Structure 1
Amino acid sequence: MSVIPYPEVTSLFKYMPWPGFARDTLLEQQIWYSSMSAFNDPFEGIYEIQDDISVHVAIALAAKVRAYSHWDDVEGYIRTRVLHSRQNSLALSDDFKAVVKQHVEAAREQIRSLGVLSLSMVPDSILLWSHYADEHKGICIEFERNIDEDSGILENSRPVIYSDLYPTPSVDQLVLDPRALTNKVVYTKSHHWAYEKEWRLWKDKGNQKHPLPGPVKSVILGSNWHGSQEDIRRICRDLNADLVQAKIVQGRYDIEFETIQHRET
């Protein structure tokens, strides 16, 4: 039986203004994945690639590129096309450096074209409600994590790592793992954003809609929400999702929730 990665995280949350994309997201059951160049943080997508390729990784790549079944064939290719003698040492040939450059550029192109969905692990962040849900007039959608859904697949979905430094994958890492650059860049963000407790999903193509990352478990209305109750209740019934009202807690800076319409069990 498959175990969902990060089993302690059972739901993920998306703060959105209402109606706008939020209503369309619920009705169409599709959500927008943005390219990283469209994010509001100009530091997003900045990275540095460290060092040149090492000889042992070049040999591994040569074996992979040639797909030979016998080591003698790989060894011959490496000796004649990959490495050559220079000042009593081994160096990469110019032809093979071009192959490496192609791998690095393919990784860069993946970053440029992919789409990212930003979610949070918490539904009660006053700052997130203010910044992304139209000053608490919008909604927060709760997506249930499921091993069969995008939010439960580790290769495309995981928490953000907050750092003081830009992601710096090495050429070796990019050659051995085509997704190394994507995994480093997509899931690394400045420590200044740590309060968001962000979780990200990515797709190969950005700036377009993709299926929801999981079933809608609840729709939370902001404390200043003033939309049509009839409309949102109908949408939640169709989705079989709880409808929840966020409220400002008296006496302290906090948010509490009240379920105003339960889903069928």
Structure 2
Amino acid sequence: MPNPIHTLLPDGTQDIQRLLAIENNTELLYKFRSCQNPLHQKSLADGKIWIGEATALNDPFDSKPKEFLSRSTAEEANSYRDAVRSLRVLCFCGPLKGDGDDILRWSHYGDGHQGYCLMINDANLVAKTRSVSYEPHYPNLAELTPTSPNFWDKVGFFKAPAWRYEDERRALFPNSTATEYTIPPGAIWGVAFGCWSLHVNRIEVARHAHANNPKCYYFDAEIVTASYSLNYRNATVVYRQLMQ
């Protein structure tokens, strides 16, 4: 198999998805980060990612089915609230494609295009994730209780169509107190840098990533004005040379 680093197009451009195809379509999880957030930098250096509380999700409808609560007894409602309050969740976005959805994701989760996106190749974590369903109507959960076999399938994987641009994948951790997930060494397949990220921040992030992931790829997002899109230029050779 040819080394993808040496199969770049003449101008140095290499689409991420094409590179993945060369590597037998590796399935990745995409996590946007901020260069300005010291917690994100420390997590990267430590090989960790934060597992958040479901109650802190930024969608007011997410994991908060009012229809279910309004048709429940007080005891059932309290049981539901307790279950959701003990739920922790790890969220990822869909693949980077350079389209309008990418532009929105970078704006909302990538520190206004000044941050970076980790591309994680971890089969164990991929197996824990499911895609979010974007439905036009709020699901009817009136017959659901926290002891129902499909409780978390119903509660944890639905959002309104307006969120479809995220193409979100989630891993749920019910009844959990875990706050961090450890990324195995070598599992960070790539890092993409936002089109407005500073060079000094890119180098710092690359050094953190390279420490436990020496085969990591690096991509610089570039604005394509003719089509309102982003191009991801493969700059792996440059970054790896800087790490030597």
Per the normalisation by structure 2, the TM-score is 0.71
Does residue 140 of structure 2 align to residue 163 of structure 1? no
Which residue of the partner structure matches residue 18 of structure 1? 35
Which residue of the partner structure matches residue 157 of structure 2? 187
Residue identity in the other structure for 1:208: T
Which residue of the partner structure matches residue 111 of structure 1? 84
Report the alpha carbon displacement of residue 237 of structure 1 after superposing the two structures with TM: 2.3
- Which of 2, 24, 31 aligns to 2:49? It is 31
1:139/1:107 CA distance change after superposition, 3 Å:
same
Residue identity in the other structure for 2:59: D
Report the alpha carbon displacement of residue 128 of structure 1 after superposing the two structures with TM: 0.5
Residues paired across the two proteins, number: 204
1:26/1:142 CA distance change after superposition, 3 Å:
same
Per the normalisation by structure 1, the TM-score is 0.66
In the TM superposition, 1:105-184 aligns within 5 A as 108-123=81-96, 124=98, 125-146=102-123, 149-153=124-128, 157-169=129-141, 171=143, 175-177=147-149, 180-184=150-154
CA contact (8 A) 1:169 1:181 kept: no
1:9/1:168 CA distance change after superposition, 3 Å:
farther
1:174/1:15 CA distance change after superposition, 3 Å:
same
Residue identity in the other structure for 1:120: C
Residue by residue, what CA displacement relative to the aligned partner does 1:9-60 show, whole Å, maximum 9, x if unpaired? 811211121141332221111111221221222111222449x9xxxxxxxx
Distance 1:41 1:197 in 2: 15
Residue identity in the other structure for 1:14: K
Which residue of the partner structure matches residue 244 of structure 1? 219
Residue identity in the other structure for 1:38: A
Q: Secondary structure at the match of 2:226?
A: coil
1:10/1:19 CA distance change after superposition, 3 Å:
same
Does residue 236 of structure 2 align to residue 219 of structure 1? no
Report the alpha carbon displacement of residue 168 of structure 1 after superposing the two structures with TM: 2.7
**Percent identity among equivalent residues?**
25
Q: Secondary structure at the match of 1:137?
A: coil
Residue by residue, what CA displacement relative to the aligned partner does 1:202-256 show, whole Å, maximum 9, x if unpaired? 2233682222499211111100010424423322322221121111114111111
Report the alpha carbon displacement of residue 167 of structure 1 after superposing the two structures with TM: 3.0
Distance 1:23 1:9 in 2: 25
Which deviates the most, 12-21 or 231-240?
Answer: 231-240
- Which of 173, 177, 181 aligns to 1:210? It is 181
Report the RMSD for the aligned CA atoms in angstroms. Answer: 3.2
CA contact (8 A) 1:246 1:256 kept: yes
In the TM superposition, 1:42-53 aligns within 5 A as 42-47=60-65, 48-49=67-68
Specify every segment of 5 or more residues in structure 1 that has no aligned partner in the other structure, as ranges.
Answer: 1-6, 53-96
Distance 2:78 2:48 in 1: 31
Specify every segment of 5 or more residues in structure 2 that has no aligned partner in the other structure, as ranges.
Answer: 1-23
Does residue 204 of structure 2 align to residue 231 of structure 1? yes
CA contact (8 A) 1:34 1:208 kept: yes
Distance 1:40 1:106 in 2: 23
